[in-house]
């Protein structure tokens, strides 16, 4: 059964570790992440962007696939199915479809409008036991073709949104989606500390987990980050392993063209990446 992300994140905040949100793209991604979570006895959040939702033909397909896998694979660790960077309209759609958690990203609105819309989503989601993530200060980089500038969130605005009763809060602290540029200045721990003090005990969310050095991840967790989103890194591992398979000519040997064989190295590569992150985030054996 899918669960809301609230309880697992409150536990993580208290235990000073973080739960990974790993974005899914298809059946292989979903199966690899669920299997790794179960093997490592770790709670997990499956993230779905609007683009990935559309790619997988819609939110009800995803709910069916994830619930089916939980049952068929005997998954017993807590699993939340979460909309990543949702618009108001799509937040309502996933609630209807049976997701257990939703991010409403109103960071591109004025703070007044962000507050108004976040409040409405909280009311609807909470009436169904669904957790809500809000965002203040848009996170830079590219996601689904939308390129953000990478703002640093305002502490007072974070407090205003946190006080609405969201379950987790994403705030821009110099993090960006995708690969970090060579000259990246790193995370703004001064800002994170201020936000953390102002919003405690709200679990904070760190987006753009790909490529953040280990020591920064650990420091962010020590300052109140309880959820870390990883997407690009699984894509890179999958692509590299698939490239290796093809370049070695394995698809031309015997039945190496069979998708179950062709996609197997990429599947294992996703599992290895997810396991590495769960160990780094400290969520192993915290199910």
* Nearest CA-CA partner of 69 in 21, 34, 39: 34
Distances (CA, A) of 210 to 59, 82, 176, 200, 214: 25, 18, 9, 25, 11
In angstroms, what is the minimal distance from the CB of 62 to ligand 13P?
16
Q: Tell me the window of 1-9, 25-33, 223-231, 247-255 that interacts with ligand 13P (CB under 6 A).
A: 223-231
Residue 210 lies near ligand 13P (rule: CB under 6 A): yes
Catalytic: which of 84, 105, 154, 190?
A: 84
Q: Tell me the window of 73-81, 88-96, 196-204, 227-235 that interacts with ligand 13P (CB under 6 A).
A: 227-235
* Nearest CA-CA partner of 89 in 50, 40, 144: 50
Strand ranges (E), the chain:
19-23, 44-49, 79-86, 101-104, 131-136, 140-143, 146-148, 168-171, 176-177, 204-206, 225-230
Distance between CA 105 and CA 188 in Å, rounded? Answer: 21
User: CB-wise, 84 or 167, nearer to ligand 13P?
Assistant: 84
On the CB side of 188, how many CA atoms lie within 13 Å of its CA? 20
Residue 242 lies near ligand 13P (rule: CB under 6 A): no
Residue 50 lies near ligand 13P (rule: CB under 6 A): no
Residues 59-118 that bind ligand 13P (CB under 6 A): 84-85
Q: Are strands 146-148 and 140-143 parallel, antiparallel or unpaired?
A: antiparallel
User: CB-wise, 157 or 233, nearer to ligand 13P?
Assistant: 233
Look at the alpha carbons of 268, 1, 89, 110 in this order and tell me if their dihedral is positive or negative: negative
Residue 208 lies near ligand 13P (rule: CB under 6 A): yes
Residues 152-191 that bind ligand 13P (CB under 6 A): 177-178
84 catalytic per annotation: yes
The count of other CB atoms within 10 Å of the CB of residue 215 is 8
Among 233, 238, 273, 277, binds ligand 13P (CB under 6 A): 233
Residue 52 lies near ligand 13P (rule: CB under 6 A): no
Radius of gyration of the chain (CA): 18
**Number of residues counted as binding ligand 13P (CB under 6 A):** 15
Among 53, 137, 194, 209, binds ligand 13P (CB under 6 A): 209
Residues near ligand 13P (CB under 6 A) are: 23, 47, 84-85, 177-178, 207-210, 229-233
């Amino acid at each position: 059964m899918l669960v809301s992300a609230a309880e697992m994140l409150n536990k993580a905040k208290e235990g000073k570790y973080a739960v990974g949100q790993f974005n899914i793209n298809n059946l292989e991604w979903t199966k690899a992440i669920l299997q790794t979570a179960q093997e490592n006895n770790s709670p997990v959040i499956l993230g779905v962007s609007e683009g990935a939702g559309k790619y997988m033909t819609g939110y009800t397909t995803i709910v069916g696939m994830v619930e089916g896998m939980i049952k068929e694979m005997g998954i017993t660790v807590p699993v939340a199915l979460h909309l990543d960077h949702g618009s108001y309209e799509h937040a309502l759609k996933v609630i209807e479809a049976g997701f257990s958690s939703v991010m409403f990203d109103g960071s591109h609105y004025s703070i007044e409008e962000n507050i108004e819309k976040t409040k409405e989503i909280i009311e609807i989601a909470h009436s169904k036991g669904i957790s809500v993530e809000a965002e203040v200060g848009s996170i830079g980089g590219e996601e689904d073709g939308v390129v953000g500038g990478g703002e640093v969130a305002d502490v007072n605005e974070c407090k205003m949104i946190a006080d609405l009763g969201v379950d987790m809060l994403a705030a821009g602290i110099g993090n960006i989606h995708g690969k970090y540029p060579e000259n990246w200045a790193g995370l703004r721990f001064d800002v994170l500390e201020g936000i953390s003090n102002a919003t405690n005990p709200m679990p904070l969310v760190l987006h753009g987990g790909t490529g953040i050095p280990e020591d920064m991840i650990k420091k962010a967790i020590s300052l109140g980050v309880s959820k870390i989103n990883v997407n690009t890194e699984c894509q890179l591992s999958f692509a590299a392993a698939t490239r290796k398979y093809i370049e070695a000519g394995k698809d031309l040997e015997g039945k190496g063209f069979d998708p179950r064989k062709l996609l197997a190295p990429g599947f294992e590569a996703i599992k290895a990446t997810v396991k590495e992150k769960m160990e780094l985030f400290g969520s192993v054996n915290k199910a």
